[in-house]
Amino acid sequence: VLGAGFASGVLGYIAGKRRSKAAAQPVTVVTVPGGEAADLDENATDIRCAVANDVVVTDDVAIRELFGGASTGTSTLSIAHVNVKRAWHEEWQQPEFDEWTCVLKGVVRIERARGASLNVRAGEAVFLPRGELVRWVFPDPSNLQEYVAICGPAFSPDNCGRGVEPAEAELPKYE
């Protein structure tokens, strides 16, 4: 739906520049928890293996981090696969990272304190700049949401900005 070009562009943007071929970096392969090890050639010495980390599992949501502080020790960016389990909403937050979100299934409503709110549907993507005061809403229990979130720098509990409440005048009108 969104293709490799989208992911390549996002990662290139986050890195700020492409690395030259002279700066050899190991390839990192991330596998699923409890799954088989990566299928590598026997002489592979330039490949690092890591295991994805289930960072949140509640009645509301399951979040599996593929790249980031909890899974690979990466602080530059994080990539997480999110599965919503029921209709609910997160608390307001004002992250200290840029976020690119690709919705794979369902409709994710993003309420903004300082601008129009929006619905992002399956097959669509959204960019939220750092400092944007938002609340994620998952409104449809009949079509539960699934999405991939890419954050730069990497998401962490310390930089997600939870607990920041908008002024009453900034709340979406229906509230």
Count CB atoms within 10 A of the CB of residue 121.
12
The pLDDT of residue 110 is above 60: yes
Judge whether 129 and 120 are in contact, CB under 8 Å: no
Residue carrying the six token digits 């908008």: 166
Give pLDDT, residue 143. Answer: 93
For the entire predicted model, the pTM comes to 0.81
**Averaged pLDDT for residues 120-136:** 97
Q: Please, which pLDDT band fits residue 166 given cuts at 50, 70 and 90? A: confident
pLDDT in tens, 74-102: 999 999 999 999 999 999 999 999 999 99
Does the pLDDT at position 18 exceed 70? Answer: no
Q: 154: Cβ–Cβ under 8 A, 6 or more apart, which residues?
A: 67, 68, 69, 74, 75, 76, 77, 78, 97
